[in-house]
Every structure is written in structure tokens, then in C-alpha cells.
Amino acid sequence: MQHFDSDYMEGAHEKIIERLVQTNREQTPGYGSDMYCESAKEKIKTACKNPDAKVYFLVGGTQTNVTVIDTLLKSYEGVVAAKSGHVATHEAGAIEFGGHKVLELEAQQGKLSAETVKSYIAGYYKDENYEHMVAPGMVYISHPTEYGTLYTKRELEELANVCREYEIPLYLDGARLGYGLAASDTDVDLETLSECCDVYYIGGTKVGALFGEAVVVNHYQECFHRFLSIMKQHGALMAKGRMLGLQFDTLFTDNLYLDIARHAIKMAEKLRNGLEKAGCQVFIDSPTNQQFVVLENKKMKELSEHVSFGFWENYDENHTVVRFATSWATKEEDIDKLLELLA
């Protein structure tokens, strides 16, 4: 059985495991005040080309989204997001548990346009009852999106401009950021994010780590003044914080983060080319590690005896959209076998 269900099915990149082993018996102070966290923060700031950024480490994606959003919003504000955004759909109400509404807007293949956002916020302030409505207090986007798609630099700049006009933060969820940065045709790199996003996070869980997400705060740093307390209050502060530091320090040494992400992209491209050759209909034009294809239900059923993958949505009575996810850990031979089965 081969698994293409998701990008978090294996452990961590070997270099991370190696360092966990090496440092295992060292004694360090807790809660992220250790030297590995310090070192990782410096490397991330260098990679992002923003020496003045603040960097924080959390354990998982939903936890990071909730904690950051609660930190940035005032009590009466909500977070603007695509209807298909992770915070709107698959976080079991974590944002609302924190007291905030997700203001859901229509999106194209997971992407929010600056125009949509601007028109929504402008409409809000023009409404005579705006004080009775949830105020748009920040904008949330994901990159890659839940559909594997990517923003262009231009699109991010336009979103940033809208946010600056209304003086609210632009926050980017980078759970799969590596696979976005490593895509073949993107013009978005970490520096772009530092320029356009007020806050973003670099996903570790899905890109080579056992767990861990690194939040980079470029602006609105004053909101993060007591972030350690806010993390603690959210149950998001790791006692042995160095686990996070060690992993990100490794990922940001010798370009490892991008290198392993590139492997996943290579595997995804191989898969996609093979699928197209096999006559499968590509559902979404995704340049990243998630590939969405339309399969005949009969074929899907046969395939599922040998391979696991994600069910995405019904296409029509006889077809289904399924998702294959590659990752830093995907083996080329597994792609070959999958393509054989589909041929």
C-alpha cells in the first residue's frame, strides 16, 4: 500500500532526527528560552531578510492560527478569509472558540482577490449599521492555498495595499509554505512575504519537521508584547521548547527547507505529467505538492485497493475529484508504481 493522502504521514527529515539524537541529554531552560531557539530565530530572520522581525515557535497549524488571530484582533473584530480557508472550514470552530467571527468571502481556487477584500471592507464602513456588524480586523490568506494554488507577488502586494489602507494586518498561513516557495514558476520568496505580510508562518509539520510552525512578525509587533503569556493561555507553549528550535535551526541550515520542498515539487510534477499522459483530467492547475485529478469512480475504487489518497469532492455521477499529496519524503519509485497502476 502506498500513501498519498497527505504530507504529514512520515516522521522528520533525517538531519532533524540526527540532531535530536545528538542533543538529547543536554540540559536547556524551558519554554523556548534556549540557545537552539535563539539560533533558529536568527537564521529565519536572515532567510527572510528582515533582521527586525520577531519569530515565535508553536506546535501546529490550527494552534498557530488561533493564537496569532487572537493576538491581532480586538474583541469586536473578525478575520476576513476565503470561504475555503482553513480557518473557515477545518479548525472545528477554533477561531470562534477564541471569540471571533470568520468573515467568509468568495474566492477563486482558494485565492482571495484584493478587489473582493477591498469591496467588502469598503461596503462594511459604508453600511449605516456597521457598528452592529463584526468589524473586519485582519485578512487571512493561505499560501499555498487549500487548492494547492499560489498568489503572485503582484497579488500579494495588492492585498497588502488594501490592508494598509484600512490599517489592518495581512496574515499568511504557510502550513505548506515550503512547497509554495519551491514551485517552479512562482515569483514569491520569503523576502516578498516579509515585504507584503504583516505576520506569516513558516510551516514545519508538513515540510520536514515532526511538528512546529515558525511565526514571523514584521509589523504589529506591539500586539506580541506578551505573546508568551498568550501562548500559555492557549495551551500552546511547549515545556521543552528547544524541540522547536532544533528543528527549525536544522531546516534553516544549508537551505534544507527549500531543498526538501523542491523534491516534493519534482515528485508532484512527475506525477502530474504521468497523470496527463494516462489521460486523467487535471481538476485544478496546481503548481505545488497537492495534485487534484478527476477519476472515473470505477478506476478510483480499483486504485484504492493499492493506494491511499484524499477524497476531494464529487465531480459528476460517474467521476470524483481526488487529491494526491507528495512531500519531502515521497520516493520516486512510489510515483512510478502509482503511475503504473493508473496506466
Chain positions 241 to 260 lying near a copy of itself, rule: CB under 8 A, are: 243
**Is the four-CA dihedral 163, 187, 290, 322 of positive or negative sign?**
positive
> Which of residues 235, 254, 305, 317 is near a copy of itself by CB under 8 A?
235
Q: Residue 59 interacts with a copy of itself (CB under 8 A)?
A: yes
Q: Does 6 bind a copy of itself (CB under 8 A)?
A: yes
Binding flags for a copy of itself, 266-305, as an x/- string (CB under 8 A)? ----------------------------------------
Q: Does 20 bind a copy of itself (CB under 8 A)?
A: yes
Beta strands 290-296 and 319-325 are: antiparallel
Site membership for a copy of itself, residue 21 (CB under 8 A) = yes
Which range in 94-102, 141-149, 257-265, 299-307 contacts a copy of itself by CB under 8 A? Answer: 94-102
- Rounded CA gap, 85 and 255, in Å? 29
Site for a copy of itself in 97-116 (CB under 8 A): 97, 99-102, 104
Distances (CA, A) of 153 to 34, 148, 178, 197, 215: 35, 16, 16, 11, 20
Q: How far apart are CA 331 and CA 263, in angstroms?
A: 9
Instruction: For residue 146, give the C-alpha cell.
Output: 487549500
Sites for a copy of itself among residues 68-87 (CB under 8 A): 70-71, 74-76, 78
Strands 135-142 and 170-173: parallel
By CB under 8 A, tell whether 128 contacts a copy of itself: yes
- Give min distance, CB of 39 to a copy of itself, in A: 17
Closest Cα to residue 200, out of 253, 237, 228, 163?
Answer: 163
Assess contact for 93 and 246: CB atoms under 8 A: no
Q: Does residue 30 bind a copy of itself (CB under 8 A)? A: yes
